[in-house]
Amino acid sequence: LIALAREGNDVDPRNLVIMFALANLGYVWADVASDGFMVFIAHREPIEKRGTMQTLVYSVSKLGQIAINLLILVGFSGPEMNCPGYQPDPSIPCTNNIYIIKRVDPELYTNNPYSWCYEMCDDATFEWDLSIPEFAISICFVIFASIPLYLRLKEDKVQAEPRLEFLAKFWSQLKRKAAWQ
């Protein structure tokens, strides 16, 4: 994410796809691990309080998803993200790239063929927006803010199960029909 933020507004789409794919893979790994740990903790809850930990974990998870979706929805609703060829700096001339011009609102282009890129199109909701590097930096702040919480975790050391015994149990779980449904 920091490398993505360093690229500035000239983000190479391939780098963007690769970095977001890796971020998504990390999210899936973390989500699976947290679900497994949540089940581990939930089984140790007293019967009268059972379900409290599950409710807490899933509530916080959904709140985080709502917050990031709102950030994306509001942050990426400006002209630089939604108006092809938009240029906020009037000293830079409008692009002549035919592929970009084909995506521009025809009415906007025909009304101002030489200064169309300085006007906000109808697809933009706000006059401001969040750039991809700014979005990457905001995610980095959340990650850095969570590091002290991670460092406070304390786990008891347990004796590891022998590998062959673990793999035999793992294989028996994989052969169950429930694992593939």
Mean pLDDT of 153-159: 81
Q: How confident is the model at residue 63 (pLDDT cuts 50, 70, 90)?
A: very high
Give the global pTM: 0.65
Mean pLDDT of 76-99: 88
For 139, phi then psi, to 5°, come to -65, -40
Contact 135, 80 (CB under 8 A): no
Q: What is the pLDDT of residues 96-140, one digit of tens each?
A: 888 888 888 888 888 888 888 898 888 889 988 888 888 888 888
Q: How many CB atoms lie within 10 A of CB 93?
A: 11
Instruction: Give residue for tokens 């497994």.
Output: 36
Contact 94, 115 (CB under 8 A): yes
Alpha helix stretches (DSSP H) within 43-91? 52-75, 79-82
Q: What is the pLDDT of residues 71-82, one digit of tens each?
A: 989 998 989 888
